[in-house]
Chains A and B, each alone.
Chain A
Amino acid sequence: MTERIRVIIHFALKTFWNLLLFIPALAILYSSYFIVPASAQTTRILFVLDASGSMKGEWNGTSKFELAKNILNNTIDSVSRTNQKVEFALRVFGHQSPRASLNCKDTRLEAAFAKGNAAAIAQRLKAVHPQGQTPIEFTLLQSLDDFPEDSQSTNAIILITDGSETCGGNLCDLTRKFEEKKIALRPFIVGLGLSDSLKKKFECLGSFYDVQDEDALSTTMKIVISRVLNPTTCQFNLLDAYGNPNETNVEITLYDHVTKDIRYSFIHTLNAKGIPDTLTLDQRFVYDLEVHSIPEVVKEKIQLVPGIHNVIPAEVPMGSLEIRLEASTGNFTGISCIVRKATEKEILFVQDVNSSLRYITGAYDLEMLTLPRTIIKNVLIQEAKITSIKIPRAGTLLLTPSEAGIASIFLFREKVMEKVYELSSIKTQKSVSLQPGNYLVVFRGDRFRQAERTKQISVEILSGKTSSIRL
């Protein structure tokens, strides 16, 4: 606990420091968001207790309701004693009308969230007697209003029940309804001796635990409470080509799977021990992970198991591609290189020449926007290796027309003449940067009205040199 508080202070200070440092300096909108542990603030636990008729059924001579009631009281009592940051509330269903009256709205918040309300809850529980229906869906929908507006708190619902929905509600649909309403809440369900088919339905809804006797109920409740109260941590293992979590230093965005909002973005980091850093994420949300490698790696619907350390693997094997212009100094070349996945037509990324970038391992096609374009197919990027591509520096073609005319520059590519550059009009000297190679300059003076006055001059362009021709 102290450790966690220390971390919180650290975060708070850091945020404050950053804001202080940059807001006055710059006239633009800044906002910094950090990985803030969700459990830093108040934790609110709502117990939803089944008081339907079947809860009168006995386990070793004591009714299930009685057992549940006792354990609830004990739990609330012991947690309240040791943890000031936890508040409890109690909602009961099926206790107000007899089963025969088929009351499907029989649910009530018996004790609202408040500090130090353990005794009050115990008092309310004494007055509850099981008798009615099991309107689980309706109850859970109502329970959403039981939590006060507080975006900082951790909210949890612990449902204790022994039976299936009797009012036509569908638990799996309920999850969908929650998602539609953009509510990130996955209840814990403690089932009292449920059938297998029922278990499946509850698993759809949240974290489900089945108990068959009093001891198991007591133990399970402890586990559930610790899941709620313990920090939920995780690490992202970015796996290399050999399945080792060695990949790092890449941007990561975590989206809320339900609302699609950006929840966190950060740079993946290995800690001092060289293993992926441990993160504390808000456990309420289901996440979509996007690793901003090139191309990006997406993993959807990541559900953190509350109260434990979650390891989330993603395969991100990467190698580097370095593109250099030969004999160039400085970083800026003004030349872009279009990178596509081999055989694919769509542009994946545009890399500057004279830079190095990491890509997911595999084959890529490169197209450098030199004149003419330099195309290199099937460049292999291998795990942790640097693939180095060098392109020659351009040479200069200096054209000096003896008269006004039109000119084009051609390149022979496998016997085929390919137009590289066109001068719709050339009157004075003109220089064109061209990649090294053999070109054909075609020219016709404007004063000539015969096609056969077309002149052709072959010219070789050498890297970094100027070739001059008179037209």
Chain B
Amino acid sequence: MSGKTLIGVMSEIPVISFSLRLLLFSFFCCMFSLHTFSQSKSTPSLTRILFLLDGSSSMAESWSNTSKIEAARKIISRIADSLDTSFSIQLGLRIYGHQFSSTEMNCTDTRLEVPFATHNSEGIKNALKALHPQGITPIAYSLEQCARDFPTDLRARNVIVIVTDGEESCSGDPCEISLMLQQKRIFLRPFIIGLNLNPDAAQKMQCIGNYFNATNPEVLRNLMTTVINRVLSSSVVQVNLLDNQNRPLETDVNMTFYDHATGTYRYNFYHTITNRGVADTMQLDPVLQYDLTIHTTPPLERKQLNFPAHQVDTVNIPASQGYLKIVLQGKMINKNLNDKIKVLLRRAGSEETIQVQNLQETVKYLSGKYDLEVLTLPRMQIKNVAVTQSATTTIEIPLPGILSITKTFPGIGSIMLIENNSEEKIYQLNENLNSELLGLQPGNYAIIFRSKFSKKTVDSITRKFQIKNGESTSVKL
């Protein structure tokens, strides 16, 4: 929405841009809730940002013309100041490795220095001033402790920004803890800013969340601004559903965005083409990584999509679709029998049923080949039916004949299909009924029937009959 223009000026006048951005952010929140009343329920009114800062001994090392801790202190203080007037943003500060000397190897050295509150930039600045780096780097343990820092409030967006200059120095696995806490919905996908980490250490940080490497204090400042910028803006996403000629013309289908870490549903939109003839953009929370499902039949999926907020992110997805219509050749008089005939659809060669289609219905499918199993009596297989871009493929099912069975005495038995010199049971007569009406596909059949009470095999009778398209046949037993 507004991300692009603001980011450009960010490095020169970050503080001003923050205030401006904040204004726009609140404005956008209003607009957002106005537009989509149902979606806005998942757009929280409160954003909490916890800075998790490295206070280990190495942070005291000099970095360009300053020290690492000084660079971090400066930018965090500045951000705290710029956000201080907001009622919709709360900040918190947790530091690790600062209470005990590194020689003590204290793996539980972490402390929430400033709990969440609005207008607490003074508290944060003071805590940063008092900080003397000295200890080790228990990232996993600290991250775990963060869970308690966030008040339980499902309406808030909980964001964590980790600033560290070293990898985990205790036994914990920060990636595992991060994922677990995301799944418990404690916080959204964390941001990690490494202070000049070597590639090996950086690699290990990637799985905690969104990782950035700051090579010098200047880059740190820019990165931190970008991250906060992103947290407070929204991603603008355009999904292009491509037809068979790669034109973004497919539309009017639901799209669901899931949070990848938790697997939970976040947004659902109908894909829409605007009056300008392009796919409409959507605004999403920029902190998350998404799994996208396009509810075509069968559905399309894209996993782990990242939408950094500084441009319109376009996702191109081939979604060529056509129509399939299944009809009877002729008209069946009996509606009940007609309605009972369902068609199971599977991707050609696959076993999974993706749709159950009714007769006379037209359904839109992804272009491709499908296998149909028609639940007539007996069942009918139609393989390799092609659905092609924008065209309607029509499949005609031979009109069943109608078999009317009258029983003059209570009995048991079945209808057998006689085909290739063998008998296959396709329907068992209902012994509680005196008469039954069935739709049967054209072919040769036999009913084997015997009185319920008979004690002799020879009382079995076999009646052979033929069923023709659309014709009625009666059998009296």
Contact = CB atoms under 8 A, between A and B. Distances in A.
A11 B459 CA distance: 10
Contacts of B458: 10-11, 14, 34-35, 266
Contacts of B424: 292
A444 interface: yes
B126 to A, nearest CB: 43
Contacts of B336: 332, 334
Contacts of A442: 254, 268, 270
Interface stretch (A59-67, A171-179, A311-319, A450-458): A450-458
Given A18-B461, A269-B455, A269-B459, A450 B272 contact: yes
A26 B476 contact: yes
Given A265-B423, A456-B39, A26 B475 contact: yes
Interface stretch (B191-199, B201-209, B444-452): B444-452
A262 B421 contact: yes
B356 interface: yes
A296 B339 CA distance: 29
A454 B457 contact: no
B265 A452 contact: no
Contacts of A253: 416, 422-423
B311 interface: no
B376 to A, nearest CB: 10
B103 interface: no
B369 to A, nearest CB: 18
Given A260-B422, A412-B265, A419 B297 contact: yes
A223 to B, nearest CB: 28
Contact of A453 (B35, B344, B423): B35
Contacts of B461: 18, 32
Given A272-B455, A292-B416, A350-B375, A28 B460 contact: no
B462 interface: yes
Given A29-B464, A265-B416, A267-B450, A345 B456 contact: no
Interface string B391-415: 0000000000000000000001110
B422 A452 contact: no
A336 interface: yes
Interface stretch (B138-146, B155-163, B210-218, B425-433): B425-433
Interface bin, chain A: 35 or more
A350 B379 contact: yes
A296 B448 contact: no
Interface bin, chain B: 35 or more
Interface in A206-236: none
Contact of A267 (B364, B379, B448, B464): B448
A288 B353 CA distance: 35
Contacts of B449: 267
B269 interface: yes
B295 interface: yes
B271 A265 contact: no
A417 B428 CA distance: 38
Given A29-B465, A451-B280, A456-B38, A262 B457 contact: no
Given A266-B460, A350-B379, A294 B425 contact: yes
Interface of B: 32, 35-39, 252, 254, 256, 258, 263-265, 268-275, 280-283, 293, 295, 297, 299, 336, 339-340, 342, 344, 351, 353, 356, 363-364, 373, 375, 379, 412-414, 416, 418, 421-425, 428, 430, 432-433, 446, 448-450, 454-466, 473-476
7 nearest A-B pairs in the assembled complex, by CB-CB distance: A345-B351, A266-B460, A456-B38, A444-B270, A292-B425, A267-B450, A451-B269
Given A345-B351, A416-B293, 4 more contacts: A253-B423, A406-B270, A415-B258, A451-B280
